[in-house]
Amino acid sequence: MKRHFRVWRGDASGGDLTEFDVEVNEGEVVLDIIHRLQATQAPDLACRWNCKAGKCGSCSMEINGKPRLGCMTRMSTFTEDETITITPLRTFPVIRDLVTDVSFNYEKARETPAFAPPVGVAPGEYRMQQIDVERSQEFRKCIECFLCQNTCHVVRDHEENKEAFSGPRYFIRAAELDMHPLDARGDRKEYAQSSQGLGYCNITKCCTEVCPEHIKITDNAIIPMKERVVDRRYDPLVWLGRKIFRRDELEGTESMAPTGSTGVTGVAAGVPLSSARLPEGPPVGADGHMDVAELAAPIQGGPSPFGEDVTFPLPPEEIVYTHPSTDKR
């Protein structure tokens, strides 16, 4: 039975959708149709593929507007009268037809600090229990199809973000290494925040929805990394340290990012602390005491403990508060 297809044809200079009627047999996938199209009607149609088993991630494309693997999208999922539209990944520059330039992802891979072996343990002597790797093992299933990178609106809709944003593929890499029981680096989450653009992600879960390996990218990698960054940002000990030490002293002793870590194929230079926003505590008055509202509110920035019909600042006579006496009796 013949089915109607619309396939994008063109290159970096431009292109358009071309109509085709192609024979479809039972049990076939979209990649089969592309191969038949190449063999019968469009021998110059460019398409990247390799394993045809959903494990190489090469045949990434957009089918009816959704990022998918051509080899894992069965024709039986479409109705018989439905027109199937096949286009290249929209986030990356088109080379020709369905082939895009995904070098952006490999550049980000080089910038990601690699696994740091534990000090004093030689290769071959690493020992881990299964319970130690259960959380991060899920991320090893990634086939680098870059569908998550393609669907992420932070880079898809904003070209200017590409320099500062690594994307979900490398957030799960950072999370995997952060959870690795033998990784010697202790600043994975800080690096993700300061150098990989973790803060740009607003957890819409679009990356999780298109992952062919069903990795819970948002719930199991990005959100935990965000939570750890926040834990450090609002850690009372860090806040206290900022009250005791001057900013320049902290900048000389702390580092939010690596300064010379070896990446996948090179050296990933770090970002100095001065470029990252440091943890800040609540404001303290000239007398060294916090504002009454800060002390009385159970959650900073939450509902007012005085009620919603009260205006601030409160008159002094309405404030019932006595600072602990420093006299010892």
Cα–Cα distance between 242 and 237 in angstroms, integer?
Answer: 9
Cα–Cα distance between 192 and 119 in angstroms, integer?
Answer: 23
- Is there a contact between 29 and 70 (Cβ–Cβ < 8 Å)? yes
Residue with tokens 């504002």: 291
pLDDT one digit per residue (tens) for the chain, 329 residues: 899 999 999 999 999 999 999 999 999 999 999 999 999 999 999 999 999 999 999 999 999 999 999 999 999 999 999 999 999 999 999 999 999 999 999 999 999 999 998 888 888 888 888 888 888 899 999 999 999 999 999 999 999 999 999 999 999 999 999 999 899 988 898 899 999 999 999 999 999 999 999 999 999 999 999 988 877 666 666 666 666 765 555 544 444 443 333 333 333 333 343 344 444 555 666 766 655 544 444 444 444 444 555 554 556 566 555 555 555 55
What phi, psi does 161 have (nearest 5°)? -85, -15
Angle between helices 223-233 and 168-179 (to 10 degrees): 70
Burial class (CB in 10 A: 0-12, 13-18, 19+), 200: middle
List of residues 6+ apart from 318 with CB closer than 8 A? none
Buried b (16+ CB within 10 A) or exposed e, 310-327: eeeeeeeeeeeeeeeeee
pTM for the full model? Answer: 0.69
